[in-house]
Amino acid sequence: MIDKEKERKRIGQRIADIRKEKGLTQLDIANKTGIQRCHVARIEAGLYSVGLDTLAMIGDAMDMNIDYVERGGE
């Protein structure tokens, strides 16, 4: 069984890592997606379960495929 809290944190950390590798700030992601910066922060901290539509918007903002974001490029 999947530990949902662990998965939220793993995906959030993956988003934060990719964002930083790309030299983007949370505000950059917020501006590109229309998601509030504080919401981006909660997603990255694993405090909010991100839906596929939101994950796709974040992936697009970072020029990444959502599968790469979610799975870590495995």
- pLDDT tens-digit readout, 16-73: 999 999 999 999 999 999 999 999 999 999 999 889 999 999 999 999 887 766 665 4
* Among 42, 43, 66, 71, CA closest to 55: 66
Query: Tokens standing for 5?
Result: 């809290």
Helix (H, G, I), strand (E, B) or coil at 35: coil
Taking the complete model, does pTM exceed 0.75, yes or no?
yes
Measure the CA–CA gap between 56 and 54, rounded to whole angstroms: 5
* Confidence category of residue 6, pLDDT binned at 50, 70, 90: very high
Please determine, looking at this structure, whether the domain spanning 4-62 carries the CATH number 3.20.190.10: no
